[in-house]
């Protein structure tokens, strides 16, 4: 068993991948521990797959590659890394060098001190624009207010796990609509945090548009909080109160009641607006429940490579059976 697995999700990163490999390998060699670099190729459509295949042939002792059958998203890729990692300790990183490999020795130091969860917190993200920084701040505020969960602002998908937390996440957190960094911060265990400054992307561009981030944020908030479901009750109380006020007002001004067209139209729009929002929220929850219920796989592995041979496939099947 190796000491350390570094799990790297890769989606269309052909331009920076070799640089990532060289730099990360340099730091890993410096630590002196036995390690594997576990790349998860999340259905890249560029040459990333080819580059990874080549790396696994040139460096079979250290590089393993999990190939998905299509793009399943970053969360799925990290989950596959978690499932297939063979190391005792796990470090999750992005492939674009935004998570500096220079932090690895520091992380290992913390793990050797007995910490089981090491969260890496961004101090500054120079590369994200103003809008992304603002929306990211708002997201953490909303989620912390609405759920029991505590999420560190600036927390990222850069973290390290000891064997026990990794086992818990592997076995007990099999949700389809996922937010791994949220679980990591809320499973307890002895944890600590380190700060880092997000470097600019080494090449290529971010895969997360604002639209995708919005979708992701909504799903995450709904998965971690039941508060939106209760909105209907509050809206109900509010409109009932409004009704009572209107009854009293009409009785007091009997005879002199206003002609009322505008009032009726405004009230109708307002009430229907509220109603549809509540129905929509319930719809979002049903969509999530539906996804969970279908119980489709979080990801599908097409191939696992270590060196040039497909000899690992047997082992993969075995692992799959055990799971
Ligand atoms: N990624 C992935 N699948 C996807 C999108 C992204 O595996 O569908 C990987 C990507 O290659 C990178 C990491 O997830 O290593 C973070 O993505 P990105 O840098 O685009 O996000 P950002 O840093 O801008 O939040
Ligand atoms: Mg990035």
Model confidence pLDDT, tens digit, residues 251-268 = 887 766 667 777 788 888
Maximum average pLDDT range among 8-22, 133-147, 196-210: 8-22
Q: Tell whether the model's pLDDT for residue 4 goes beyond 90.
A: yes
Ligand 1: residue of 9, 78, 199 to mutate (most ligand atoms within 8 A of CB) is: 9
Q: Tell whether the model's pLDDT for residue 6 goes beyond 70.
A: yes
Over the chain, what is the mean pLDDT? Answer: 86
Tell me which residue has tokens 């791994």: 180
Please tell me the distance from the alpha carbon of residue 26 to that of residue 311, in angstroms, as a whole number. Answer: 28
Quote the crossing angle between the two packed helices 227-252 and 261-294, to the nearest 10°: 160
Q: Tell whether the model's pLDDT for residue 38 goes beyond 90.
A: yes
Ligand 1 atom, smallest distance to 9 CA: 7
Q: Tell whether the model's pLDDT for residue 125 goes beyond 70.
A: no
Give the distance, in angstroms, between the CA of residue 55 and the centroid of all CA atoms in the same chain: 27
Ligand 2 centroid from CA 40, angstroms: 15
Q: Which residues lie closer than 8 Å to 303 by C-beta, 6 or more apart?
A: 65, 66, 67, 310, 313
pLDDT in tens, 200-241: 887 888 888 888 888 888 898 888 888 888 888 888 888 888
* Ligand number, closest to the Cα atom of 95: 1
Least confident among 130-144, 163-177, 251-265: 251-265
Higher-pLDDT residue of 135, 291 = 291
Phi and psi based region of residue 117 (left: phi greater than 0; alpha: psi -120 to 50; beta: remaining): beta
Which residue puts its alpha carbon closest to atom 22 of ligand 1?
A: 206
Q: What is the token pair recorded at 71?
A: 């793009």
Ligand 1 atom, smallest distance to 127 CA: 24
CB environment 50-63: b (16+ within 10 A), e (fewer): ebbbebbeeeeebb
What pLDDT does residue 311 have?
44
Ligand 1 centroid from CA 255, angstroms: 67
In degrees, rounded to 5, the angle at the alpha carbon of residue 219 between the alpha carbons of residues 215 and 220 is: 115
Ligand 1 centroid from CA 107, angstroms: 22
In degrees, rounded to 5, the angle at the alpha carbon of residue 11 between the alpha carbons of residues 312 and 90 is: 55
What pLDDT does residue 174 have?
92
What pLDDT does residue 263 have?
79
Count how many residues are written for the chain. 323
What pLDDT does residue 133 have?
76
What is the arithmetic mean of pLDDT over 310-314? 48
Please tell me the distance from the alpha carbon of residue 134 to that of residue 140, in angstroms, as a whole number. Answer: 10
Please tell me the distance from the alpha carbon of residue 78 to that of residue 253, in angstroms, as a whole number. Answer: 66
pLDDT in tens, 49-108: 999 999 998 988 899 999 999 999 999 999 999 999 999 999 999 999 889 999 999 999
Give yes or no for a contact between 35 and 26, defined as CB atoms under 8 angstroms apart.
no
Least confident among 6-15, 43-52, 150-159: 150-159
What pLDDT does residue 321 have?
45
What is the arithmetic mean of pLDDT over 265-281? 87
Ligand 1 centroid from CA 207, angstroms: 6
DSSP three-state, residue 48: helix
CATH tag, 2-208+297-322? 3.90.550.10
Ligand 1: residue of 73, 75, 94, 199 to mutate (most ligand atoms within 8 A of CB) is: 94
The neighbour count for residue 161, using CB atoms within 10 Å, is: 27
| CB 14 near ligand 1, within 6 Å | no
Cα torsion 127, 129, 134, 135 to 10°: value is: -100
* Domains of the chain, residue spans: 2-208+297-322, 227-294
* Ligand number, closest to the Cα atom of 94: 1
Give yes or no for a contact between 173 and 101, defined as CB atoms under 8 angstroms apart.
no
Ligand 1 atom, smallest distance to 206 CA: 20
| CB 71 near ligand 1, within 6 Å | yes
């Amino acid at each position: 068993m190796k000491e350390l697995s570094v799990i790297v999700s890769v989606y269309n990163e052909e331009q920076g991948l070799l640089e990532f490999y060289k730099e990360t390998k340099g730091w890993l060699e410096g630590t002196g521990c036995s390690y594997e670099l576990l790349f998860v190729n999340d259905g890249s459509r560029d040459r990333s797959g080819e580059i990874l295949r080549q790396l696994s042939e040139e460096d079979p002792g250290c590089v393993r590659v999990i190939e998905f059958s299509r793009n399943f998203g970053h969360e799925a890729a990290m989950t596959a890394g978690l499932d297939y990692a063979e190391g005792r300790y796990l470090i999750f990183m992005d492939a674009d060098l935004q998570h500096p490999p220079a932090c690895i020795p520091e992380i290992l130091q913390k793990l050797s001190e007995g910490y089981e969860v090491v969260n890496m917190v961004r101090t500054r993200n120079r590369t994200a624009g103003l809008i992304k920084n603002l929306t990211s701040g708002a997201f953490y505020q909303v989620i912390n207010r609405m759920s029991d969960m505590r999420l560190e602002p600036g927390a990222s998908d850069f973290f390290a796990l000891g064997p026990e937390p990794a086992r818990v996440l592997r076995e007990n957190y099999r949700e389809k609509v996922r937010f791994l960094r949220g679980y990591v911060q809320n499973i307890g265990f002895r944890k600590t945090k380190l700060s880092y400054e997000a470097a600019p992307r080494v090449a290529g561009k971010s895969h997360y548009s604002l639209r995708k981030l919005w979708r992701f944020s909504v799903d995450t908030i709904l998965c971690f909080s039941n508060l939106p479901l209760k909105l209907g009750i509050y809206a109900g109380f509010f409109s009932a109160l409004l009704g009572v006020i209107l009854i009293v007002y009409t009785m007091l001004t009997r005879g002199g009641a206003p002609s009322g067209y505008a009032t009726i139209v405004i009230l109708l729009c307002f009430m229907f607006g509220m109603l549809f929002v509540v129905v929509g929220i319930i719809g979002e929850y049903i969509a999530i429940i539906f996804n969970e219920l279908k119980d489709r796989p979080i990801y599908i592995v097409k191939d696992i490579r270590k060196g040039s041979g497909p000899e690992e496939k047997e082992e993969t099947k075995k692992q799959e059976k055990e799971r």
